Amino acid sequence: MLRTKPYSSPEVPVTGQEYTFFNIIFLAISCVIGTGVYFSSVTTAATSGSASVPALFICVFLCLFIALPFAELSTRIPGFTYEYIYCTCGEFFALFYSFTTLVTNVFVSAINAQLWANTIRNALGYDLDYLEVLPIIAISGLVIAGRRTGAVASNIVTIINLTNAILASFLLLTQDNFTFPWKKLTSGIEDIDKMKAAFPVWFFTLLGFENVGVFSRGIKNPGKIIPMSMIIALVSAAVLNLFTFIGVFGQSKEPNVSSVIDMIEWNQVKTVMRFTSICGITSSSLWITILQGEVMLTLGKDGLMPSILSVQNSAGIPYISIMFHVLFSIICCYSGSISELISTLSWAIIGMPMASIGLIFSHYEANSPSFFQLKKYGFFFAITAITLGLLDSFSSLRIINSWLFRIFIFIVMIVIFSDLCKKSRVTCKPALVNCIWFPYLPIISSLLFFFLVGYVMNVKSFLFVLTTTFLTYLTYSRNNSNLAKSKDTLLNSKNTD
């Protein structure tokens, strides 16, 4: 379960073929500012009220905190989060993260389809049955045909979507129904339970910046561009979502709507903006479908899932994997509302701390005593942090449920883990981007995220994905992965000798 895949350092791109600074900046922004900016403010305003603002700041702070470990990982291990976890934490955890990602992408695809369908219905003025199916099938068809979005097209769509989102927040702040909500923002701002409900929504809105690391092999100066693009994308998304939330929260009327654009008073402008927002929804769905195919393709190639998932057409697209994605996305469309779908997988951010703690493991040789010792203690601390988050659900445990007790345990874990890292000899080579304050920053950021995973966890969905991973690994992945086959080959060759 804990065996790791070897990795090689990212190759330096050929001169003239690397991505430019603006390509990566726009890519980072497009990954973060997609569809969430249109519904997150409305959702959090309805469920969490003024507590949404501190929840947003906490989410941004934590994302900035974990961005630097991801920046180093992207220049140390080629690929994306799945590769980071497979090469550092182990095979089972890579499979668990992949299942989490696959289910999350299905949910987000369903959410995008609902937003797309609602936008069309509001623009046309009447209801159309089963409209959600159309964008899922159409976008998947484009991906299967091999019509991937190029850098220029992606930049254009991002600019249109970003301009549309900025205009929406500006119109909300300037229309007659708006009054700056000073009193509303200060009332109930310390309500922990309402902040807890806002966390998953904001995280799903802000996540995506870590995908920039996939392109580290095609960047001429990754040590500067990757961290900068992540920070710019997160700060831009934070500012835009804050202004949009204030615009929504300050309206004198509180209509039952699902999108920010529906709250704009000017009908002609609203109609145009509804169609323009489709660019953001379409772009987000396109990237999700491509990513979904790549994840299942990688699982098939690594032997963790049946090889049929890695079957590609003439354009190099894993069409069978994408067809599965279409089927599950359509089913999910009619299984719940936007807020219900988000809350069900609120713990899906677990890949962030797994990768961050994996950065610590990557600094040591995979077969060294230091590596196994740090991994053993790292997983123990991760489980402890998740458990501390879950304690909030048990109000009867007054002593160990208190925040002072949790903070004390956190400080003890950080001190012990840091001391273990200091006693272990680092064996890795310097990366193009080196995480500052190592090992303290990845230790603190990973423990905070593990705590948040437990704090916002939907236990039923977590156990479902975990059980599915266990069954898949025990019945198939353990014996069919490339690592298992290479081990068998090695044993056979030794026996032959």
Q: What CA–CA distance (Å, rounded) separates 497 from 479?
A: 24
Q: Three-state SS string across 177-189, please? A: CECCCHHHHHCCC
Closest CA to 362 of 101, 1, 78: 78
Q: How confident is the model at residue 18 (pLDDT cuts 50, 70, 90)?
A: low
**pLDDT tens digits, 145-180:** 664 444 555 567 777 878 888 888 888 888 888 888
Average pLDDT (183-196) is 76
pLDDT at 450: 93
Q: What is the mean pLDDT of the chain?
A: 79
CB within 8 Å of 197: residues ≥ 6 apart? 44, 47, 48, 343
Tens digits of per-residue pLDDT, 350-370? 888 998 998 888 887 766 777
Residue 85 lies in a domain: yes
What pLDDT score does 96 carry?
A: 93
Domain around 209: 21-341
Q: Which long-range contacts (CB under 8 A, 24 or more apart) does 466-470 make?
A: 466/96, 468/99, 469/92, 469/95, 469/96, 469/99
In this structure, the number of other CB atoms found within 10 A of the CB of residue 91 comes to 24
3-state secondary structure of 429: coil
3-state secondary structure of 147: coil
The pLDDT-based confidence of 386 (bands split at 50, 70, 90) is very high
Q: What is the pLDDT of residue 148?
A: 46
For residue 261, give the amino acid letter. I
- The pLDDT of residue 489 is above 60: no
pLDDT at 494 over 50: no
Would you state the pLDDT for residue 380? Answer: 92
Residue 305 backbone phi and psi in degrees, to 5:
-135, 165
Encoded tokens for 316: 């190099």
DSSP codes joined into one string, 331-342: HHHTS--HHHHH
Burial class (CB in 10 A: 0-12, 13-18, 19+), 362: buried
Which pair of structure tokens corresponds to residue 353?
Answer: 């701390």
The mean per-residue pLDDT over the stretch 237-246 comes to 90
Asked if the model's pLDDT at residue 325 lies above 80, the reply is yes
Percent of the chain exceeding pLDDT 70 equals 84
Considering its fold, how many domains does the chain have in total?
Answer: 1
| Dist CA 54 CA 45 (whole Å) | 13
Residue 371: burial class (beta carbons within 10 Å; 0-12, 13-18, 19+): buried
Q: Which residue has the higher pLDDT, 337 or 40?
A: 40
What sign for the dihedral angle of Cα 456, 459, 460, 466? positive
pLDDT per residue as tens digits for the range 274-298: 777 777 777 777 777 877 887 888 8
* Distance spanning both ends of the chain, measured CA to CA: 29
pLDDT reading at 121 higher than 80: no
Confidence band, pLDDT 50/70/90 cuts, at residue 188: low
Residue 471 confidence (pLDDT) above 90: yes
Residue 465 counted as domain residue: no
pLDDT for position 150: 47
Say what the pLDDT of residue 149 is.
44
Q: Which amino acid is at 325?
A: H
Q: Which of 45, 13, 103, 86 is nearest to 331 (CA)?
A: 103
Residue 490 has what pLDDT? 45
In a domain? residue 452: no
Instruction: Please answer whether residues 47 and 193 qualify as being in contact, where contact means their C-beta atoms are separated by less than 8 angstroms.
Output: no
Q: What is the mean pLDDT of residues 27-32?
A: 76
Mean pLDDT for the stretch of residues 232-249: 89
Predicted pLDDT of residue 412? 92
The pLDDT of residue 493 = 45
pLDDT of residue 341: 67
d(CA 106, CA 112): 10
Cα–Cα distance, 286 to 304 (Å, whole number): 25
In a domain, 458, yes or no: no
- Give CA angle at 367 (361, 369), nearest 5°: 75
Poorest-pLDDT segment among 45-54, 115-124, 395-404: 395-404
Percentage of the chain beyond pLDDT 90 is 9
Instruction: Pick the range with the lowest mean pLDDT from 109-123, 231-245, 405-419.
Output: 109-123
pLDDT tens figures, 405-419: 888 899 999 999 988
Give domain status of residue 388, yes or no: no
pLDDT(383) > 50: yes
φ, ψ for residue 455, nearest 5 deg: -65, -40
Where residue 46 sits, what CATH number does that domain have? 1.20.1740.10
13, part of any domain: no
Question: Mean pLDDT over residues 383-390, rounded?
Answer: 90
164: number of Cβ within 10 Å = 21
Q: Is the residue at 291 inside a domain? A: yes
Is residue 114 a part of any domain in this protein?
yes
